[in-house]
Structure 1
Amino acid sequence: MSSSVVIGAGMVGLATAWHLQERGVQVTVLDRAGVAAGSSWGNAGWLSPGKTIPLADPSLWTYGPTALLDADAALHVPFRADPGLWSFLARFAAHGTRRAWERTMAALTPIDRMALECFDELTGSGVDAWTRQGPFIVGFTEERQSAGFLREVEGVVRHGQDVPLERVENPREVVPQLSDQVGVVYRMGGQRFIEPGPFVQALADAVVARGGTLRTDAQVTSLAGGSRPGVTLANGETLTADSVVVATGAWLPGLTRDLGVRTRVQAGRGYSFSVATEEPSRYPVYLPAQRIACTPYRGRFRIAGTMEFRGPDEPLQPRRIEAIVNQARSLMTGMDLEDRQDEWVGSRPVTPDGLPLVGATSAPGVYVAGGHGMWGIVLGPATGKLLAEQIVTGRTDPAIAPFDPLR
């Protein structure tokens, strides 16, 4: 039986491990902190292929400069002397064109279209978790704000996805958590959501139940390719296998610098918290102008937002939580935004061109699965399935060919 070491116990790493098991591979999953300890725990949990689109678009040139001046801006860039960060931002901004958006969207569409069925494969084969249908409720304070969102949906449909969209005439009857200031509301179908932390834990449990090894005290300090690639842990222990998969999210650069992976991965940190609501929340809510994403979560309402470019290990910045609250205060009702629980920051792995890094590195037997930006949850199972196929058979599915980590 062949073997594989997977570094990273988030959605992407565990889905890769699960699909390697499907192909008869013995897996060991290593993580320095725990299951879903990175960006997999506190995100909005959206399974929304219709919103899995390039992060950089032409609107970046409008709101980008605000990120340096407005403390409440949804995109936040701390003003600091960091040449690496500014180099990344310059390349990221260069992709904020219509032509680049179309090119990236074309590359994402094949994996977007298979994303939901890959969740069904997991939940139908022993992963004890659920996915739930929307609809997603999308709100704006005025008509002109919706133009960019509608243009994005039109682009997604043009590239081959089905995204049902209709105007909601009485939004408070559907989502009582929206205030009267949200006057333009759409219902977006064809999307689902999960409770991400519990789902990823259920996936980890399934990997272990099928004979996999999961170690959550394992800090990998180095790795090497070869006929038997191996990893070295902080305690000096060495593990070897037939393949190694690096799925460490925003921490990818720490292990991939010498593997031919030239695309920079920058931590784009997202924040979230949960609040109680006077009336039960049933559906995800998206406020595009404020870039706030909300989801029912364990009887509460999880509110997530912001994109903050800092180091992945920097501490939570309370000011970013306050920024989300300030944006949401006039748009939400029937909740106490001061009584917050589960305040969280997670580092999403963002690439300048908006495409993940999935596939073989220059080191024999070593593979990368990461760089999904905001879309690691929704694309994780499909990524794991296609990468497992490549590892075992040597065939690269066309859906992940554009994600070549050596590009």
Structure 2
Amino acid sequence: MYSRAQSPRTAVVVGAGMVGLATAWHLQERGIEVTILDRSGVAAGASWGNAGWLTPGMAMPLSDPTLWSYAPKALLDSTAPLHIPARLDPKLWAFLARFGLHANTKAWAKAMAALTPIDRMALDSFDELTSNGVDAWTRKGPFIIGFEQEKESGPFIHEIQQVEKAGQRVPLKRLDNPQVKVPQLSAGVSTVYEMEDQRFMEPGPFVQALAEAVEARGGKILTGGEVRSLRHGPQGISVDRAGQEPVSADVVVLATGAWLPELAKPLGVKTQIQAGRGYSFSVATDDPAEFPIYFPARRVACTPYQGRLRIAGTMEFRGPDEPLQTGRIDAILASVRPLFTNMDLENLEDIWVGARPVTPDGLPVVGATRSPGVYVAGGHGMWGIVLGPATGKLLAEQITTGHVPDEIRPFDPLR
């Protein structure tokens, strides 16, 4: 087994989503032989059906002061964008209590300040991948931000102003005659802004291309067999999988998203991670969809996707493996029907639910655990896609040098 004085030679990464594969790619950049394990396959979790937004300007803490205005509705209205099932679940209610404690201006500003350094390196980290063998694309917006009434735009504009105050640049411009530029918007969308300096991509294909790049460099991706435990031994750290042969390496990275607590909690990671499930589907449009569209008041995000428009929404606090709830799809459809035209909202394809790993304080958990040689990378909430490549780069630096980069120091898993 390697010592802190020397760099590891081999690594096992558990989780073949964006965060895990980006970490594997950057470990390879540093000369480490990598094996990736996943119980289901590449991009099988939250990395496949999300909106594919590369929007560091919107990568902000989920728990904010507005929570107190819409949380009661989440308990009483099954169609609300934030859905909390009425059930006796002590772990969920403990999470919600901690989540609520961070729903204030001071806590939000502190978390935003902690996120800003990694937000600022996010897009360059994608360019590093696509310039060095990852055969996939990212595209600039603009992002179309729509409101039914002008007064609804106030909270969103205020959030963007706070993001800029923390150190980013997020240009917003009022758009005249928006239906001319975006024929998918109905006349019910009265107030529209363009948001610049952000990008989007197709998440599943991008993550698949990243996996292929890792394999082309000699990395192994093994699927099947849920990881059950980690054991230290003379050959390094042994990763035990159900029904499969163990795999050993000098270091192990756990990047299992909403399933992270199962393996990380025994390693001293006390920050609670709750599955915040998102839903999406795609629809055909009369005219090709060119731009991502966001309705902040409805909390619905839309993205051009393989000739269609992907519509994504909902934050549903359920277990990560629970069945898809068709009522959530119906709720998203009901919320966007008045906002869209020139599209087919009856024939849905690519229906999906995926579990995003949400922390109470809005910060990821990235870094070393109490178990020597074992690291975690997760808890990004809705921002695992946009922050995944930067996370992988910074964690690979920590693993190979022992130095914790300043950008991930606030994400200490043992905080």
TM (norm. structure 1) is 0.99
Deviations 1:257-276 (A, max 9, x none): 21000011000000000000
Structure 2 counterpart of 1:160: 167
Is 1:207 aligned to 2:214, yes or no?
yes
Give the Cα separation in 1 of the matches to 2:159 and 2:117: 17
Give the Cα separation in 1 of the matches to 2:392 and 2:203: 17
Give the Cα separation in 2 of the matches to 1:226 and 1:77: 43
Is 1:308 aligned to 2:325, yes or no?
no
On the 8 A contact 1:226/1:363 being kept in 2, the answer is: no
Question: Where do 1:191-270 residues align within 5 Å?
Answer: 191-225=198-232, 228-235=236-243, 237-270=245-278
Give the Cα separation in 2 of the matches to 1:44 and 1:71: 22
Amino acid at match of 1:33: S
Give the Cα separation in 1 of the matches to 2:174 and 2:231: 54
Deviation of 1:216 (Å): 1.6
Structure 2 counterpart of 1:149: 156
Is 1:6 aligned to 2:9, yes or no?
no
Choose from 180, 183, 200 the match for 2:190. Answer: 183
Deviation of 1:224 (Å): 3.1
Amino acid at match of 1:314: E
Give the Cα separation in 2 of the matches to 1:266 and 1:223: 22
Choose from 270, 287, 292 the match for 1:279. Answer: 287
Deviations 1:55-113 (A, max 9, x none): 01110000011001112100000000001100100110111100011000000000000
Give the Cα separation in 2 of the matches to 1:186 and 1:43: 22
Structure 1 counterpart of 2:127: 120
Choose from 62, 66, 79 the match for 1:72. Answer: 79
SS of 1:169's equivalent in the other structure is coil
On the 8 A contact 1:138/1:188 being kept in 2, the answer is: yes
Is 1:109 aligned to 2:116, yes or no?
yes
Deviation of 1:13 (Å): 0.1
Deviation of 1:218 (Å): 3.5
Is 1:362 aligned to 2:370, yes or no?
yes
Give the Cα separation in 2 of the matches to 1:125 and 1:400: 24
On the 8 A contact 1:226/1:364 being kept in 2, the answer is: no
Structure 2 counterpart of 1:374: 382
Give the Cα separation in 2 of the matches to 1:94 and 1:324: 28
Is 1:328 aligned to 2:333, yes or no?
no
Give the Cα separation in 1 of the matches to 2:78 and 2:184: 25
Give the Cα separation in 2 of the matches to 1:38 and 1:25: 25
Question: Where do 1:43-58 residues align within 5 Å?
Answer: 43-58=50-65
SS of 1:329's equivalent in the other structure is helix
More deviation, 215-224/377-386 = 215-224
SS of 2:266's equivalent in the other structure is coil
Choose from 303, 306, 311 the match for 1:295. Answer: 303
Which aligned segments of 4 or more residues in structure 1 are displaced greater than 2 angstroms? 224-227
Choose from 88, 91, 98 the match for 1:81. Answer: 88
Identity %: 66
Give the Cα separation in 1 of the matches to 2:201 and 2:168: 21
SS of 1:40's equivalent in the other structure is coil
Q: Which structure 1 residue ranges, 5 or more long, are not aligned?
A: none
Deviation of 1:174 (Å): 1.6
Deviation of 1:341 (Å): 0.2
On the 8 A contact 1:8/1:29 being kept in 2, the answer is: yes
Is 1:338 aligned to 2:346, yes or no?
yes
Give the Cα separation in 2 of the matches to 1:89 and 1:372: 17
Q: Which structure 2 residue ranges, 5 or more long, are not aligned?
A: 1-7
CA RMSD of aligned residues (A): 0.9
Give the Cα separation in 1 of the matches to 2:380 and 2:313: 17
Deviation of 1:238 (Å): 1.8
Give the Cα separation in 1 of the matches to 2:180 and 2:233: 60
SS of 2:36's equivalent in the other structure is strand
Deviations 1:343-362 (A, max 9, x none): 00000000000000000000
Deviation of 1:226 (Å): 6.6
Deviations 1:306-361 (A, max 9, x none): 00000000010000000000000101111111100010000000000000000000
On the 8 A contact 1:229/1:364 being kept in 2, the answer is: no
* Count of matched residue pairs: 407
More deviation, 202-211/226-235 = 226-235
Deviation of 1:5 (Å): 0.2
More deviation, 200-209/164-173 = 164-173
Deviations 1:192-240 (A, max 9, x none): 0000000000000000000000112232111135772221010152221
Amino acid at match of 1:248: T
CA distance change for structure 1 residues 226 and 262 in 2, over 3 Å: closer, same or farther? farther
